[in-house]
Chains A and B, each alone.
Chain A
Amino acid sequence: MSDLLKLTAVEARAGLDSRAFSSVELTQAYLDAVTATRPLNQFVTETADKALEMAAASDARLAKAEAGLLEGLPLGIKDLFCTKAVQTTACSAILKGFVPEYESHVTDQLWQAGGVLMGKLNCDEFAMGSSNETSVFGPPVNPWSKDGGPALTAGGSSGGSAAAVASRAVLLATGTDTGGSIRQPAAFCGVVGMKPTYGRCSRWGIVAFASSLDQAGTFSRTVADSALMLQAMAGHDPRDSTSANLPLPDCQAAVTAGVKGLKIGIPEEYVMDGMDPAIMALWEQGQKWLVEAGAELVPVSLPHTRYALPCYYIIAPAEASSNLARYDGVCYGLRVEAESLDEMYAATRSAGFGEEVRRRILIGTYALSAGYYDAYYLKAQKVRQLIARDFETAFASVDAILTPATPSAAFALGSKQQDPITMYLNDVFTVPASLAGLPGISVPAGLSEAGLPLGLQVLANKFAEDRVYQVAGALEAAAGFTLAPPRAAGEVQ
């Protein structure tokens, strides 16, 4: 049944509607793929029985012509989304064994649309990382890793989501993106990763990292599949005070609308020293494709780009230090017993949090502490304002912005763990748009010299996801990228 694994979500929906196959058949094919790809360590919890149960319910709805947008499609969920009665750990020791009593808004929307839960996917601990190596379950392996070569990172923090979609263990997956955690792993694994506008998807029931930046989004193999999934996920939720009460534009139609007459901004500051020449070449190729499709290139300037990463590494840890105060061994999660309440807190948090999470909490605590708040947090918020204004100015004259998604292709696991800042630099192209709350997508567009996927990033103004999909659709059509990771299910291994 490996042919079923090659279908896109849109094709699979059509096949289910026409009864070419059932959801149970499709789900079983994917369950076999989950088993076959277990060495890649993509899942932290598999839910095979639940998947077959949900698939049977989908088949019943299909028979009654009551199918939802994602009816019968096998989905993977990043282990940062609370799923009722299914363990949710944020890939942290401090939440091992935590079984939510409630469902996140995003996943609830997905189940209402008919999605089938295949299991929970690996990610960096509390989504803090760019290689998925901070996960307490160990990192997933990029399915593009070659036999006999080093195991490559799937990227992070949503590494398991990107890897599982690329290896055909799931058809679609959720991710969250705080500074690039959807777009960077998508680029590394050769799949489409979409971070919508901040506020487009409810944060309710998602384990919080940095609340002013966290946003849920999609992983898929095609741009059209992403648009389909976003339509099911997005929506206003009064339980998240930052949830936008605005209708989603018609993203599915936008995918094939073309880019004729659109103005595409090319930011001069995104040409960086020491950039991989293959990335530079791909970016130029992407510009050429868009011109050939009828778009006009416009040079734009985003002068505060170089300050985005330091700005992010104050704001995100500061918010994290506040959000993660809740893990204290009292209400849920790990508890390390001690004589006094205070010692119990400190012992629990020391044992439960991994190295990177502890480091970020300490940095954040320092940045918010008395005497340093103005110098760090307030200063960073002012710089954030300037970064957002850079984009506002640019979007006054362009419809979308095209940039590379990452400064390099996927690197070997273990190769960048020595110095935290080297790891942070992975997000140089994705963080600025996160600070401004803009929608952004990573589209696989070519291969590096070593045959690894590379992505292009498309950004648009707030709530203009349709523009993102228009440009992404044109890039996808021109690139003709073939998803052929050597370690995917159904490939010769």
Chain B
Amino acid sequence: MSVDKDTVKKIARLARIAVPEDQTETLAGELNGILNWIAELEQVDTEGVPPLASVTGHPLPLRADQVTDGEQPESVLANAPEQASSFFVVPKVVE
């Protein structure tokens, strides 16, 4: 599997990271270097091995579906780049 300039643009778009056109080539080279190195894993026989997603060894705990926090809009908005009347402000989405 190899990454070309178009794939870099596609991944960058998925990750919402703007990548200037003149950097796509370099980035493709770097990503391929890493991906080729990672490809070593293909040598490992993992037939019948279940994936390990969590090492805790205990099931996820459940709690009552109750509100335990809230009513503090000032705190929530304290670090907002832009806010207005207790809302986060973003560029216009709907025309």
Chain A residues at the B interface, C-beta cutoff of 8 Å? 97-99, 101-102, 198-199, 212, 238, 241-242, 244, 304, 306-307, 310-311, 313-314, 321, 325, 328-335, 337-347, 349-350, 353, 358-359, 361-363, 365-366, 369, 372, 375-376, 378-386, 388, 419-421, 435-437, 462
Inter-chain pairs besides A349-B15, A366-B3, 18 sampled, C-beta below 8 Å: A98-B79, A101-B75, A238-B61, A238-B63, A307-B43, A321-B15, A338-B91, A340-B93, A341-B90, A344-B90, A347-B18, A362-B15, A365-B14, A366-B35, A372-B1, A379-B41, A382-B46, A382-B51
A341 touching B30 by the CB < 8 A rule? Answer: no
Chain B residues near A369: list those with CB within 8 A: 11, 14
Report the bound CA distance from A366 to B91 in whole Å.
28
A242 touching B52 by the CB < 8 A rule? Answer: no
Q: Given that A341-B90, A341-B93 are contacting pairs, would A314 and B38 also be in contact in the complex, using a CB cutoff of 8 Å?
A: yes
The residue that A241 contacts in the complex, of B15, B19, B60, with Cβ under 8 A, is B60
Q: For residue B60, which residue of chain A has the nearest CB?
A: A241
Report the bound CA distance from A382 to B47 in whole Å.
9
29 contacts between A and B (CB under 8 A): A97-B79, A101-B76, A101-B79, A198-B55, A242-B54, A307-B41, A310-B37, A311-B41, A313-B38, A314-B38, A329-B81, A330-B90, A346-B13, A361-B17, A363-B34, A363-B35, A365-B11, A365-B15, A366-B3, A366-B7, A369-B11, A369-B14, A380-B41, A381-B52, A382-B49, A383-B46, A420-B34, A437-B56, A462-B57
Q: Given that A349-B17, A376-B38 are contacting pairs, would A362 and B80 also be in contact in the complex, using a CB cutoff of 8 Å?
A: no
Q: For residue A364, which residue of chain B has the nearest CB?
A: B15
The reply on B84 being an interface residue by CB < 8 A is: no
Report the bound CA distance from A378 to B51 in whole Å.
6
The residue that A420 contacts in the complex, of B16, B30, B60, with Cβ under 8 A, is B30
Report the bound CA distance from A383 to B49 in whole Å.
8
B33 touching A362 by the CB < 8 A rule? Answer: no
Chain B residues near A380: list those with CB within 8 A: 41
> Which residues B12-69 have CB closer than 8 A to chain A?
12-19, 27, 30-31, 33-35, 37-44, 46, 49-58, 60-61, 63
Report the bound CA distance from A427 to B52 in whole Å.
21
B49 touching A385 by the CB < 8 A rule? Answer: yes
The residue that A386 contacts in the complex, of B33, B49, B61, with Cβ under 8 A, is B49
Chain B residues near A331: list those with CB within 8 A: 79-80, 88
Rounded to whole Å, the gap between the CB of B28 and the closest CB of chain A is 10
Most buried by B among A310, A334, A349, A361: A310
The residue that A99 contacts in the complex, of B31, B56, B78, B90, with Cβ under 8 A, is B78
A333 touching B55 by the CB < 8 A rule? Answer: no
The residue that A334 contacts in the complex, of B16, B61, B81, with Cβ under 8 A, is B81
Report the bound CA distance from A198 to B76 in whole Å.
29
Report the bound CA distance from A242 to B58 in whole Å.
8
B31 touching A363 by the CB < 8 A rule? Answer: yes
The reply on B82 being an interface residue by CB < 8 A is: yes
Chain B residues near A307: list those with CB within 8 A: 40-41, 43-44
Report the bound CA distance from A344 to B90 in whole Å.
9
Rounded to whole Å, the gap between the CB of A359 and the closest CB of chain B is 6
Chain B residues near A335: list those with CB within 8 A: 81-82
Chain A residues near B75: list those with CB within 8 A: 101-102
Report the bound CA distance from A379 to B3 in whole Å.
19
Q: Given that A212-B54, A380-B41 are contacting pairs, would A362 and B31 also be in contact in the complex, using a CB cutoff of 8 Å?
A: yes
Chain B residues near A328: list those with CB within 8 A: 16
Chain A residues near B46: list those with CB within 8 A: 379, 382-383, 385-386
Chain A residues near B15: list those with CB within 8 A: 321, 349, 361-362, 365
B34 touching A313 by the CB < 8 A rule? Answer: yes
Chain B residues near A306: list those with CB within 8 A: 40
Q: Which 8 A-B pairs have the closest CB atoms?
A: A437-B55, A381-B51, A332-B79, A335-B81, A382-B46, A350-B18, A385-B52, A346-B18
